Amino acid sequence: MKIGFIGLGNMGGPMASNLVEAGHLVTGFDISAPYPEGVSRAESAAACAAGQEAVITMLPNGSILRTVAAEIIPAMDKGAAFIDCSTVDVESARAVATDAAAAGLAPVDAPVSGGVGGATAGTLTFMAGGSEDAFAKAKPLFDIMGQKAVHCGESGAGQAAKICNNMILGITMIGTCEAFALADKLGLDRQKMFDVVSTSSGYSWTMNAYCPAPGVGPQSPADNDYKPGFASDLMLKDLRLSQQAAEAVDADTPMGQRAAELYRIFVEDEDGSGRDFSAMLPRFEKRSRE
């Protein structure tokens, strides 16, 4: 396939590389990130999108997505798939999908889970919104870049699934870090804590697969001085998106709201920016009860 890929940063770069390795002809565009080997360079987003069977975007936020979409939609061939893998607000995803469909394109909003490691290994999970036909066009590419793709519903459903998932993730990581900090002060060995909780009712992904305590459980960013697999800044972004969506539909999410505020403090007022979101553990270690 001829594929345009716009946004070649930490996530988009390795995703594009996997498409190249699978034999696809990939043309890329990015204003600052390096171009992966095998990805042809376009001079603009519109040039990147012109004549392609599918265009994939991986962009920082909804505002940038809307700007890029306005540039590339008129340049794309009718019937082409417009696959947006960014994590953005539901309203922007739906607005872009509406414009793309009106232009005869097949839009899919398909944010991902799995982080940079998953993008590199081709093991991402895609949460997709759009028509059945649009999803069917995108699915072969999802199968190359990831290990699972779930069609969640109409346009915007992929973004809705992503922000709900990451609201759970943010809340759960805070609880896991609080529990380790409490266990420390109660004199409980961290390995014993892990051995109990990981096989009991406290079982969770943040405990069992991504343990925030160094030297405990499988290898995780905690074992690499909390260099990010998933940065606290990105968790804050996703939690803010969850609260924006909750406000729009009048949903009561007190835990999500509190998690967003704790990550805001950690990222903006403390040393959390640029650190993995599991670095909440050393934060709680240093704190006393207020």
CA distance 155 to 195: 42
Determine which one of 2, 162, 227, 237 is catalytic: 162
The DSSP string of 19-63 is HHHTT-EEEEE-SSSPPPTTPEEPSSHHHHHTT-SEEEE--SSHH
Answer left, alpha or beta for residue 69, where phi above 0 means left and psi between -120 and 50 means alpha: alpha
Is residue 162 among the annotated active site residues?
Answer: yes
Q: Which tokens is 117 given?
A: 């490691």
Give how far Cα 131 sits from Cα of 66, 136, 150, 158, 172, Å. 20, 9, 13, 12, 32
Length of the chain: 290
Mapping DSSP to helix (H, G, I), strand (E, B) and coil, where does residue 9 land?
coil
- Which residues are the active-site residues? 162
